[in-house]
Amino acid sequence: MKVYLVRTADFQLEDFENVLNLLNAYPGTIDFVDGGTVELDNPYGSKIFRNKTKFEHQEQLDIMCSMSEYSTKRYERPIFPLKKKYYTWKQLFDEVEYYRNEQHVDLNDFVFLLTNQYNEKNWFAFLGPSLRTGFIHTDDWPWFFGDGTDIRYPIAYEVTTWVLRGLMCQNQKEIVTRFHKKTVGCVNDFCKNKTEITIKMRTADVCDACMQVMKNKDVPPHYLNQLFSVMDGIRANLMFRKRIGIINKDSRIKIDLDAKKIFLTDFGNLDVRLNPKELSLYLLFIHHKEGIALNSLHDHNEELFTYYQKVSGRFNKDEMQNTISLLVNYLDGELHTTLSRIKSKFKKAIGTELSENYYIQVLPTGVHGIPLNREGVEIV
Ligand SMILES: [Zn+2]
């Protein structure tokens, strides 16, 4: 079975790809597939959230007002009253159904639209009449989980739970009737008060009653097994982030030379993408645990060249040697630019505080190096 994720351009590509990484980190017969980008028509209208309470509730607001522009650059906490453009559920489902037909998606496969756009009832997500088509709201997660939240975890979690609901219910009405109005820490909690979603995501559990329904509906056990693994994994990652200050442990990393990515295993396989130059320099420092003084980097010219040759995909030796000579020149700006790009990529992936041990920096000994514990480093 395939689960296609498509996005509107306002949901950042990097976040989108990492949601896919998270979901695909747990092997099984469900494939989570990059379905590309879609464009929505014009919104239906606008709504006003008069206050925080309204904003935090999944219910309809039917006040019409003038349009307002919305910037998606960085999460800005809303100020009330807040005006938002919104789409009707029908508009969103029609868009996804159109995509299904265009792409000849199998009837049993799921397609989810991931979008920062608001929907008429202010829900986190819902499935269309076929129960194989849905939308997931990708904005505002920091509002519920706190500013430091990595929104990719709750979004991946939502994808999982809506697949589960699609499999265990016959129609939209059944989905709604199976919701628990009171939050019990089950996947089927409705969370009318949207802030309660943090409870269900941290328990990542399914109550006995819902478990029985899944059994009665003959949801294939291998699907359940995979979906539960994803949910458990997301929970573990959320917890790993939360507890990292106390347990004082680095995430394992996997350096994939073909993909030119560094996967942060314990952060649910979130990836950091380095270009060949950055990756070669990173490999050099990974291999030199004790660190290297930047002004003696040229002593490692040959070793660096070997890495670059391996990952750059280039063949002209002179050109490659030129690139490396520039890179190891302490007085040239190239080295410092490359170092700062690597640093900012790690920061972007897991935040300033958590990224501290993973990038190249000045070690206590005064030379440059990567503090990361090498036991958890794997190069493939
Ligand atoms: Zn339940």
Ligand 1 centroid from CA 61, angstroms: 28
The reported pTM is 0.76
Read off the tokens for 37: 């980008």
In one-letter notation, the amino acid at residue 348 is K
Residues of the chain with CATH 3.40.390.10: 2-246
Q: Cα separation of 95 and 107, whole Å?
A: 16
Ligand 1 centroid from CA 351, angstroms: 34
Per-10-residue mean pLDDT of the chain, 380 residues long, equals: 97 90 89 96 86 76 31 67 92 96 97 96 94 95 76 91 96 93 88 81 86 94 94 83 77 94 86 94 98 96 96 94 94 93 89 88 96 95
Ligand 1 centroid from CA 240, angstroms: 25
Ligand 1 centroid from CA 234, angstroms: 19
Per CATH, the architecture of 2-246 is what? 3-Layer(aba) Sandwich (3.40)
Ligand 1 centroid from CA 206, angstroms: 5
Specify the pLDDT at position 73. Answer: 44
